[in-house]
Amino acid sequence: MTLREAKVGSYYVVKKIEGKGPLKRRIMDMGITKGTKLYVRKVAPLGDPVQINIRNYELSIRRDDANMIIVEETVDND
């Protein structure tokens, strides 16, 4: 599942970041790396952007970028 398809109020672990070059690097520079846990806080009414909590800060990410982030749901928030 991608971050774009993630449910609000759920915890996820990043499994993979698709894409190449500067776009992938920009996503990784925001702190979204493989194995990182995140919480989907809310999604804007039209679906863009997605607001997440990751590494103790809030981040809004565009829908197209969220579609490149493969995540897996997790039950714990540690």
| Tens-digit pLDDT profile for residues 40-59 | 999 988 878 999 999 999 99
| Tokens describing residue 18 | 């698709």
Q: What is the pLDDT of residue 67?
A: 92
What is the rounded CA–CA span in Å between residue 21 and residue 54?
22
Average pLDDT, the chain: 90
The model carries a pTM of 0.85
Percent of the chain residues topping a pLDDT of 70 = 96
pLDDT greater than 80 at residue 66: yes
**C-alpha span between 56 and 5 (Å, rounded):** 22
Among the listed residues 76, 69, 75, 74, the one whose alpha carbon sits nearest the alpha carbon of residue 34: 69
Strand extents, DSSP E, the chain: 11-17, 37-43, 50-54, 57-61, 69-74
**Confidence band (pLDDT; 50, 70, 90) for 78?**
low
- Go through the domains of the chain in sequence order and give each one's CATH number: 3-74 (2.30.30.90)
